Structure 1
Amino acid sequence: MDDQQLDPLLVEDPYPFQRHLGFRLTAWREGYARFDLPMEDFLLNRYGIPHGGVHAVMSDTVMGYAGCYTGDPDDRKLAMTLNLNVNYLGPLKGRTIIAEGTVTGGGARTYFAEARIRDELGNEAAQATGVFRRRGT
């Protein structure tokens, strides 16, 4: 768990897809981001567990944010995904999907990141890696 408080000045309004699914940014600093998503029935697949696409979306998003922190809401950076790889590990059993992303390397424009998807009980559902390209706004 990341216990660092999120600076409310850095929280952006949710974009439409984020608002639709219901995930929220709960931690963000240089090289790191975290999103939490309450478990809802519409996220589940036929097995009754979160659809793998939810893990992919959360992984992609958290790694993108991890590489775009500036600490200044007027200096907003964006990233586009160049490659995304998700490995599925097991089912979640808790009530919150937690996505944590960390930058692992790269340069000024292209960076590498990893993500872990788990629940509040510690069950890990997926690990992901990605390659991203930063852009200024």
Structure 2
Amino acid sequence: MTIMAQTITPPNEMLATLGLQRIVSMTGGRSRMEFLAGMHMCHSGGVVQGGFVSGWIDAAMAHAILGLHHERGDFDVSPISLELKISFFAPARPGLLVAEGWIEQGGRSTCFAEGHLLDTLGKVLAKGTSTIRLMSNAKIEAASRAALG
């Protein structure tokens, strides 16, 4: 099953904050997402702040994992970043940007993912790698409730 969606309203507030425009695809352990970078995301010189770039790549890697698990009928999984490394090659500017993520190696509890951020011409602006722990949604919700007291 191929999971493809055009998202007008982001599925959660975090993705809305990141400027998600649409999830182009999340299938076969790969994802492609479009984000709109605004001037409010920039620091001096109209360059998008690196935290947004990192967030876009991180989201694409997580959606690659979610897509693969959803294809298998597993909807009780949350990817939790254990380690995230981003290398910046060129400045990201306001406008439409594309984040792609893919699974390099996957196991039952840990995945290794890679991703990159592209401009609309296909130029690679940044690349990322991540070590990701797979946890059940129920465990995460229980831990959150316990932490909040």
Greater CA radius of gyration, 1 or 2?
2
CA distance in 2, matches of 1:99, 1:44: 18
Kindly, what percent of the aligned residue pairs are identical? 24
Residue of structure 2 in register with 1:112 after alignment: 112
- Which residue of the other structure, out of 52, 64, 67, is the alignment partner of 1:66? 64
1:124–1:13 CA distance, 2 compared to 1 (3 A) = closer
The 8 Å contact of residues 77 and 134 in structure 1, kept in 2 or not, is answered as yes
CA distance in 1, matches of 2:106, 2:74: 24
The answer for unaligned runs of 5 or more in structure 2 is 138-149
Quote how far apart the aligned CAs of 1:54 are: 0.9
- The equivalent of 1:17 in structure 2 is 14
In the superposition, relative to structure 1, how do residues 76 and 35 fare at CA in structure 2: closer, same or farther (>3 Å)?
farther
Structure 1: unaligned runs, 5 residues or longer: none
The root-mean-square deviation of aligned C-alpha atoms, in Å, is 2.4
TM-score, normalised by the number of residues in structure 2: 0.77
Please name the residue that 2:140 is paired with: none
Question: Does the CA contact (< 8 Å) of 2:102 and 2:113 recur in 1?
Answer: yes
Q: Using the TM superposition, give the Cα deviation of residue 96 of structure 1 relative to its aligned residue in structure 2, in angstroms.
A: 1.0
Q: 1:136 to 1:13 in 2, by over 3 A?
A: farther
Q: TM-score, normalised by structure 1?
A: 0.83
Does the Cα contact within 8 Å between 1:91 and 1:124 map onto a contact in 2?
Answer: no
Query: Quick check: which one's helix share is greater?
Result: 2
Contact 1:94 1:121 in 2 (8 A): no
Amino acid of the structure 1 residue aligned with 2:136: G
The Cα of 1:47 is off from its aligned counterpart by 2.2
Count how many residue pairs are aligned between Structure 1 and Structure 2: 131
Runs of 4 or more, structure 1, over 4 Å off, are: none
